[in-house]
Amino acid sequence: MCLAVPGKIVSITGDDPLTRLGKVSFGGIIKEVNLAYVPEVEIGDYVIVHVGFAISKLDETAAEQTLEYFQEISKLTSA
């Protein structure tokens, strides 16, 4: 099974589309992510990330809903 997680781009570095990197916030945890597969994204956009690569852009409403689902799952498993 594969898991891809939504995150919000907070900064972008690099000009080369193949090596362009973004710092992505996953609920406050910041990770560096390769943006080669989504050259159109900008700061503030949400992306789906799998194994260190942003694989698609996601609209804000869908991203926030998915993050809410993760929070609910976390509450259920820690009870």
Contact yes or no for 54/48 (Cβ under 8 A): yes
Q: Which domains does the chain have, with CATH numbers?
A: 5-77 (2.30.30.140)
pTM greater than 0.95 = no
pLDDT of res. 75: 82
Residues 34 and 21 sit within 8 Å (Cβ to Cβ): yes
The 10s digit of each residue's pLDDT in 22-79 is 999 988 899 999 999 999 999 999 999 999 999 999 999 988 888 888 888 878 877 6
Whole-angstrom distance, CA of residue 75 vs CA of residue 25: 20
